[in-house]
A and B are shown apart, each in its own frame.
Chain A
Amino acid sequence: MGTTNLLLTALSSELADPAGLMPARQQMALSLGWHIVLACFGVALPAMIFVMHWLGVRRRDDTALLLAHRWAKVSAVLFAIGVVSGTALAFQMGLLWPGLMGTYGDVVGLSFAFEGLAFFLEAIFLGIYLYGWGRIDPRKHLWFVLPMAITGIIGTYCILTVNAWMNAPVGFDIIGGEVTNIDPWAVLFNPNAIWQFLHMWVAAYMVAGFSVAAVYAVGLLKGRRDRYHRLGFTLPFAFASVAAVLQPLVGHLLGARLAETQPAKLAAFELATETDDGASPLRIGGFLVDGVVKWSIDIPYLGSLMARNSFTKPVQGLDTIPVEDHPPVNITHWAFQSMIGIGILLMLAAVVFWVARWRGRDLLEQRLFLRFVAISGVLAAIAMEAGWIATEVGRQPWIVYGIMRTPEAAGDNSGLWWLLGTTMVVYTLMTIGAAIVIRSMARRWRDGEQDLPSPYGPRADQLSGRAS
C-alpha cells in the first residue's frame, strides 16, 4: 500500500488541479488498498471455514473443528477492522469526491444500496456464527457461516458494478449538461461487471487461500509436522489452487473486452505506442521514455494473441488517442505485468504441488516449496494490488470513463492532506495492532490455551487458571 502511494505521487504533474485532488487520490489509494486485503478475507474466509467446519462435523474430526474454530476467532479480528475501514470508504466517497457523488450519486447509488444490504446480512450472521460456538448445536451452527459466504459474494458483485460503471458508464444520458434518464438497474446489471466480479472474486480466494496456507507452511517449516498443520495447509491451498488455475482464463476474458471499451488502457498495458501493421508483439518490461519504448523484451505475435485473441489484429496504439486522454503509461504497464507475472508463478506452484501429489510425491517434505508457499500470501496480495493499480491508474484521466475527469470530481480542499497524514498513522497503528494480537493468539494456542479469555485484572487469571 505504501507503494501505491509512492506510485500515485508520481502522477501529480498538472498544476491547475483542485487542491483536494492529490490528497484525495492518495487517501483513496491508501484506504481502498488497505480495505481490499481485508475484503478478500471477508469474502473467501467464510467459505473455507464452512468447508473445514463441515469436514469436522461430517467426519467427527476434532482437528478440523479446532481449525475452523480458530479461523473463526481470527476472522473476528480481521472482520472488525474490515468493517471500520469499509465505513471509512463510505464516508470518503462523499468527502473526497463531492463532484462524483453529487452528480452521479443517484446513478450508482442502488449498487451501493444492495452492497450495504448484503453486508448487513453478513454482519448479522457473523455475530451469530462467532458467538454460536458451544452455544448452538454443532450441526445447525455450521449452516450459519454459509450465509456469510454467499452475502460476501453478492456484496463483491455489487461493489464491482460501480467500478465497472466507472470504466464503462451506462444507465444515464447527458442532455444539455444535465444528467437525465437515470436507470440504476442498468448499472447493477452492466455487462462489464460480471467479468470484473469474477476476476476479483477469484483473486479473493487466491489472497485468502495462499495467506492461510502460508501460516501453516511456516509451521511445517518449523518442524510442526502434525496432522493439524497438514490439514490447515491443504484445505486453503486447495481453494487457492483452483482459483489460481482459473484466474488466467478469467483475466484473459476480461482483458479481451478492453480493445473495445478502453483502448487507451489496453495500449498502456501493452506499451503500444503506435498501432502495429499486423500482429503486435508482447512487450515484457520496458519503459516509455519521451514517447519511445526502451529496454523491453519483445515476443512477436504474443501481444495480439493475448489481448485480442488473434494472430493478425494489432493493439491500438497510444498515437491514436489524444495526449490529454493518456493514462500514466509506465505505472499502468508495470502494474499490469507484475500482476500477470506473479499470477502465473502462483498458478505454476499450485499445478506443481497437485501433479507431484498425484504422482506420489509430497512437496510438504520439500523445504524450498514450503518457503515459497510461506511468501505466496504476500505475493497474491501484491498481485491483487498491482491489478487494481493497473485498472485504476489505467482509467485515468477519467473517473467516469469518457465523461468526467478525475479533477472535476475532487473538492477544493487542501486540508485533506491532514486527513491523509492522520489516516496513514491510524492505519499503520491498526496494522501493527492486528499483527500483535493475531500473533499473540497463535502463540497462546501453541502453548495449549484454548479459550483466550479477555485479560482484565485478576478475574481473567482465575478464568485462565480454570481453563488450564
Chain B
Amino acid sequence: MAVAAAMFVGVVAYALFGGADFGSGFFDLTAGGSERGAELRTQIDRSIGPVWEANHVWLIYVLVTWWTAFPEAFAAAMNTLIVPMFLALFGIVLRGASFAFRKYAATLAQARLFGVVFALSSVVTPFFFGTVAGAIASGRVPMDGRGDLIGSWVNPTSLFGGVIAVGTCAFLAGVFLTADADRAGATRLAEILRLRTLSVGLVTGAVVFAALVPIERDAPTLADGLETRAAPLIVLSFLAGVGTLVLLVRRRYALARPVALLAVAAVVLGWGVGQYPWLLVDQITIADAAGARATLQGVLIAGAVAAALVLPSLAYLYRLTQTEEWTRPEH
C-alpha cells in the first residue's frame, strides 16, 4: 500500500512537471509562423530547457516502481496496452531528441523541422498516456491473457482521458510560461500567453466535468469512486481551476502557478482515489498484485533515499531557474 502510494506520487509528479513540459508543445505548435512565434519559442526553450530531463525521470521512476512492486500487473498492462504505450514511447523519443536538436540547429529551416516534430510529439504523447489511464480505470486490462488491442484504449473513458491529459498539460504549461514571460519582462508575450491559457483552461475544465457523464456508463467502478471517496478532490480541483483562471484574469501570475498545480494534482489524485483499492480496475487489487515482501521494503528504502537526495536537489534546480540570473538569456 505504501509502495502504491509512492508510485502514485510519481504519477502525480510526472503529470504535473512532465505535463508542464509536454504542454509547452501545444503553445509551440500554436505560436504562429517562424517570425511571429520566435519570441514565444525562445521563451519555451528557456523555460523547459534546464528542467525537462529531470522532470522526465519521474516516468522512469513510475515504470521501475511498477514492475518492481507489481510485476504481474505491469506485464499485463504492457501486454494489452502495447499500442498506446509504443505510440507514447515514440512521442517521447522524438520530442526529447528534436527539442535538443532545435536548440542548436544551424539554420531556420532545420529549426522549423525539429520544432514541428517537437511540438507535435509533445501534444500526442500525453494523449496516449491519458488513454492508458482510461483503459486501466475502465477495467479493460485483464490480468490473464490479452485484452482488446484497440478497443482497450479506443473507448469513451480512454478518449476523454487522452483529451484531459493534453488539456491539463497545456493548461499547466500556459500558466508557467505566462509567469516566466512576465518575470523576464516580456509583457506583450505574457499577455498573448495569458489569453491562450485562459481559453485552454476553460475548455479543459469543461471537458473534465463533461467526462463525468460518459464515465458513469463506461467505467462504473471509477464513477462510483469519483462520486463518493474522490468527490472532495473533484470539488477541490474545480475550485482551484476557477481560482487559477481568476488569478490569470487579474494578472497574479506567480500565485497562479501553485493553484494550477493544485487543480491538476487534484484531478489526478481523484482518479487514483476513485479507483482505489484496484490497481487494474475490476481485475486486481493493489494488495493482491504486490510482489515479494523483501523487494517492497527495498523499494521503500530506495524511495526514502530518493526523497532525501533527489528532492533537495530538485528543489534547488527549480529555485535556480526561477531566479533573476536564470531568467535572462545565456550570456
B291 proximal to A (CB < 8 A): yes
Find the A residue at minimum CB distance from B295.
A106
Which of A90, A131, A455 is close to B63, meaning CB atoms less than 8 Å apart? A90
Q: Is the CB of A130 within 8 A of B75?
A: no
Q: Which of A61-100 contact B (CB under 8 A)?
A: 73, 76-77, 79-81, 83-88, 90-91, 93-95, 98-99
Q: Is the CB of B54 within 8 A of A116?
A: no
Report the separation of the CA atoms of residues A81 and B100 in the bound assembly, to the nearest whole angstrom: 8
Taking CB atoms, residues of chain A closer than 8 Å to B36 are 457
B322 to chain A, nearest CB (A): 12
Which of A93, A94, A107, A127 is close to B51, meaning CB atoms less than 8 Å apart? A127
A234 to chain B, nearest CB (A): 26
Taking CB atoms, residues of chain B closer than 8 Å to A451 are 330-331
- Interface segment out of the listed A197-205, A291-299, A346-354, A437-445: A437-445
Taking CB atoms, residues of chain B closer than 8 Å to A287 are none
Q: Is the CB of A426 within 8 A of B104?
A: no
Q: Is the CB of A182 within 8 A of B79?
A: no
Q: Is the CB of B295 within 8 A of A119?
A: no
Q: Is the CB of B41 within 8 A of A454?
A: yes
Report the separation of the CA atoms of residues A107 and B69 in the bound assembly, to the nearest whole angstrom: 10
Q: Is the interface of B mostly helix, strand, loop or mixed?
A: helix
Report the separation of the CA atoms of residues A112 and B309 in the bound assembly, to the nearest whole angstrom: 17
Which of B54, B96, B98 is close to A124, meaning CB atoms less than 8 Å apart? B54
Taking CB atoms, residues of chain A closer than 8 Å to B127 are none
Report the separation of the CA atoms of residues A86 and B296 in the bound assembly, to the nearest whole angstrom: 24
Taking CB atoms, residues of chain B closer than 8 Å to A112 are 64, 67-68
Q: Is the CB of A105 within 8 A of B67?
A: yes
Report the separation of the CA atoms of residues A451 and B302 in the bound assembly, to the nearest whole angstrom: 40
Find the B residue at minimum CB distance from A462.
B38
- Interface segment out of the listed B82-90, B133-141, B191-199, B248-256: B82-90
Q: Is the CB of B331 within 8 A of A134?
A: yes
Q: Is the CB of A121 within 8 A of B310?
A: yes
Q: Which of B70-97 contact A (CB under 8 A)?
A: 71-72, 74-79, 82, 85-86, 89-90, 92-97
Interface size class for chain B?
35 or more
Q: Which of B103-135 contact A (CB under 8 A)?
A: 103-108, 110-111, 114
Which of B42, B82, B102 is close to A459, meaning CB atoms less than 8 Å apart? B42
B246 proximal to A (CB < 8 A): no
Which of B85, B93, B310 is close to A120, meaning CB atoms less than 8 Å apart? B310
B227 proximal to A (CB < 8 A): no
Q: Is the CB of B51 within 8 A of A117?
A: no
| A-to-B contact residues, CB < 8 Å | 73, 76-77, 79-81, 83-88, 90-91, 93-95, 98-99, 101-107, 109-110, 112-117, 119-121, 123-128, 130-135, 147, 182-185, 411, 413, 415, 419, 422, 426, 430, 433-434, 436-438, 440-441, 443-444, 450-460, 463, 467
| B-to-A contact residues, CB < 8 Å | 34-39, 41-42, 45, 49-51, 53-54, 56-57, 59-61, 63-65, 67-69, 71-72, 74-79, 82, 85-86, 89-90, 92-108, 110-111, 114, 291-296, 298-299, 302-303, 305-306, 309-310, 313-314, 316-317, 320-321, 325-326, 329-331
With A106-B291, A455-B111 given, can you name 20 additional A-B contacts, CB distance below 8 Å?
Answer: A79-B53, A81-B100, A87-B56, A91-B63, A106-B69, A106-B296, A113-B299, A128-B320, A131-B50, A135-B326, A147-B313, A182-B293, A411-B79, A434-B101, A437-B104, A441-B104, A454-B103, A456-B41, A457-B36, A467-B331
- 28 A-B interface contacts by CB (under 8 A): A76-B100, A84-B92, A84-B95, A87-B92, A88-B89, A88-B93, A94-B74, A102-B72, A105-B74, A107-B292, A113-B68, A117-B306, A120-B310, A124-B310, A127-B54, A128-B316, A131-B326, A133-B330, A147-B313, A415-B82, A434-B97, A443-B106, A444-B106, A451-B331, A455-B105, A455-B111, A456-B37, A457-B34
